[in-house]
């Protein structure tokens, strides 16, 4: 592939990422028709996929997605009401994390549907868009009502000690990344004058998060998902940030990406599941963004260079097999595309100064 400038790379990958947005406003996780099931819409993926457009100032794309997400929640308002009143026990009683991109139907097969961070991240972004970016996302009384109910939902499930499947949709544990997403979401949306967030609801999450860090969970000492607590959520202390970065880079960083955690069996070619963990490309972008924001331009450029090296004609893959130049079918992955664009755009701004 010919060497492209940052601007040219941004333009190319924005086009790839934009191709994943459906008429409803929701993004697919990967290309349409992919047999892995990634031709569906995840709340969390939509959160990350729109970050690129926000950084590039494409507000029409961002607002279209969040209007769709609010409409999706309104469709399941009765379910949310039930959860608030009864505290869900079974996974299907929780707000699901993935939906049909056009008709908003839930997918009912078992998929670790209990993912509290998926609600927290949406509250976080709506709050940031409304307050920091001065964008009007909450436009109607229906919107105000459903966002207030999402806050009550997090209270009802007692997110601060609720075991969920987390960012990777796997084993139910108490995940720092899930608690942190909810804390960040509640902090952010609490600044909106029409949304009521009890201070105690935030405090409970902050206390639980401080107790668990720098671990991701009882089972996982270090996990790629912990980077979310540094950026975009900014819910860790300087000491916690340093610990997380040291642990991720020492234990998880590889040549073509960052493994999610030790012993990850997803696309692991070793039958023992202990070694040969898949290398996730967006981990490199995540680290580049964090180091750019920390003012470590040299470290950030090194990760961007590594990202450019793993780019493909189809876009950035979800992952590469361990110690291999072979990538999986989820190419492009919208989440990877968006964080790549974000990393490039942040560095381009530095170069223009």
- Taking alpha carbons only, the member of 68, 55, 52 closest to residue 19 is 52
pLDDT tens digits, 136-173: 999 999 999 999 999 999 999 999 999 999 999 998 99
Distances (CA, A) of 126 to 25, 50, 255: 15, 12, 35
What are 24-36's pLDDT values in tens digits?
Answer: 999 999 999 999 9
Predicted confidence (pLDDT) at residue 112 exceeds the cutoff of 90: no
Query: pLDDT (tens digit, 9 = 90+) per residue, 205-229?
Result: 999 999 999 999 999 999 999 999 9
Residue 302: predicted pLDDT: 97
Which tokens sit at 138?
């909450």
pLDDT exceeding 70 applies to what percent of the chain? Answer: 99
The percentage of residues in the chain with a pLDDT greater than 90, rounded to a whole number, is 91
Is the pLDDT reported for residue 197 higher than 90? yes
Question: CA–CA separation, 58 vs 327, rounded Å?
Answer: 30
Measure the CA–CA gap between 143 and 127, rounded to whole angstroms.
13
pLDDT attached to residue 274: 73
Band (pLDDT 50/70/90 cuts) for residue 1 is very low
Quick one: average pLDDT of 245-259? 98
52/74 Cα distance (integer angstroms): 26
Segment 194-213 mean pLDDT: 98
CATH numbers and ranges of domains, the chain:
1-22+252-353 (no CATH), 40-235 (1.50.10.10)
Mean pLDDT, range 304-324, rounded to an integer: 96
Please name which of 205, 211, 228 lies closest in space to residue 286, comparing C-alpha atoms: 228
Whether the pLDDT of residue 3 is over 80: the answer is no
Arithmetic mean of pLDDT over the chain: 95
Residue range 319-335: mean pLDDT, rounded: 97
What is residue 153's predicted lDDT score, i.e. its pLDDT? Answer: 98
Q: Return d(Cα 130, Cα 138) in angstroms, integer.
A: 8
Q: Is the pLDDT of residue 111 over 80?
A: no
Give the model confidence (pLDDT) of 67-88 as tens digits: 999 999 999 999 999 999 999 9
Which of 44-53, 262-271, 313-322 bottoms out in mean pLDDT, i.e. has the lowest? 262-271
């Amino acid at each position: 592939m010919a060497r492209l400038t940052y601007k040219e790379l941004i333009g190319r990958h924005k086009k790839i990422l934009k191709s994943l947005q459906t008429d409803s406003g929701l993004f697919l996780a990967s290309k349409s028709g992919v047999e892995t099931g990634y031709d569906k819409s995840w709340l969390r993926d939509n959160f990350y996929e729109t970050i690129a457009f926000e950084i590039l100032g494409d507000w029409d794309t961002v607002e279209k997605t969040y209007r769709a997400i609010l409409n999706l929640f309104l469709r399941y308002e009765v379910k949310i009401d039930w959860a608030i009143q009864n505290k869900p026990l079974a996974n299907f009683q929780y707000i699901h994390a993935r939906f049909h991109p056009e008709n908003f139907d839930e997918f009912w097969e078992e998929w670790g549907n209990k993912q509290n961070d998926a609600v927290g991240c949406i509250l976080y972004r709506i709050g940031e868009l409304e307050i920091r970016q001065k964008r009007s996302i909450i436009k109607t009384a229906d919107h105000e009502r459903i966002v207030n109910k999402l806050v009550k939902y997090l209270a009802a499930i007692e997110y601060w000690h609720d075991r969920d499947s987390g960012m990777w949709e796997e084993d139910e544990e108490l995940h720092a990344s899930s608690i942190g997403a909810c804390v960040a979401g509640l902090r952010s949306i609490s600044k909106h004058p029409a949304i009521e967030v009890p201070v105690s609801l935030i405090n409970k999450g902050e206390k639980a998060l401080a107790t668990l860090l720098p671990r991701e969970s009882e089972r996982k000492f270090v996990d790629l998902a912990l980077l979310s607590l540094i950026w975009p959520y900014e819910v860790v202390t300087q000491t916690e940030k340093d610990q997380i970065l040291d642990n991720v880079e020492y234990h998880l960083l590889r040549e073509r990406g960052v493994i999610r955690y030790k012993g990850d069996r997803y696309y692991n070619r070793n039958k023992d599941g202990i070694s040969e963990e898949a290398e996730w490309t967006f981990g490199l972008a995540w680290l580049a963004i964090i180091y750019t924001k920390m003012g470590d331009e040299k470290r950030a450029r090194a990760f961007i260079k590594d990202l450019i090296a793993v780019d493909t004609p189809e876009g950035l893959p979800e992952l590469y097999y361990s110690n291999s130049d072979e990538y999986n079918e989820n190419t492009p992955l919208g989440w990877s595309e968006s964080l790549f664009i974000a990393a490039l755009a942040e560095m381009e701004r530095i170069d223009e100064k």
